[in-house]
């Protein structure tokens, strides 16, 4: 998150992502907000001691950033669960 926030101090108009075409910097701002929100939701669920299988029921985690056109969103679910497990293991 620190890197995202630091980038916001630069006068950048376009970004060349790891793959794909150059994008407006606004995308980076939206990505930061998305990541921040996702982490906040997962931390809130951790505080409530929600089981890993039940986190996917939370409406705030239904859509992933960019709403990919992939037909199978299993990658999103798998990554959310893995991230949640990691967060739960943190003291």
Mean pLDDT of 14-28: 87
User: Would you tell me how many other CB atoms lie within 10 Å of the CB of residue 83?
Assistant: 14
| Of 47, 54, 44, 63, the residue nearest 81 (C-alpha) | 54
Q: Which of the 8 DSSP states describes residue 8?
A: T
Domain ranges of the chain: 2-89
- The pLDDT confidence band at residue 90, using thresholds 50, 70 and 90, is confident
Cβ–Cβ < 8 Å for 4, 31: yes
Is residue 24 classed as helix, strand or coil in its secondary structure?
Answer: strand
pTM greater than 0.75 (yes/no): yes
User: For 52-75, how does the pLDDT look when each residue is reduced to its tens digit (9 = 90+)?
Assistant: 999 989 988 876 655 555 566 788
């Amino acid at each position: 998150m620190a890197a995202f926030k630091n980038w916001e101090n630069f006068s950048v108009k376009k970004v060349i992502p790891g793959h794909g075409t150059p994008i407006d910097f606004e995308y980076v701002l939206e990505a930061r907000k998305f990541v921040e929100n996702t982490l906040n939701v997962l931390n809130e669920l951790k505080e409530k001691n929600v089981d890993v299988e039940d986190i996917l029921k939370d409406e705030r985690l239904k859509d992933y950033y960019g709403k990919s056109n992939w037909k199978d969103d299993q990658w999103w679910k798998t990554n959310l669960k893995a991230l949640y497990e990691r967060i739960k293991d943190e003291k």
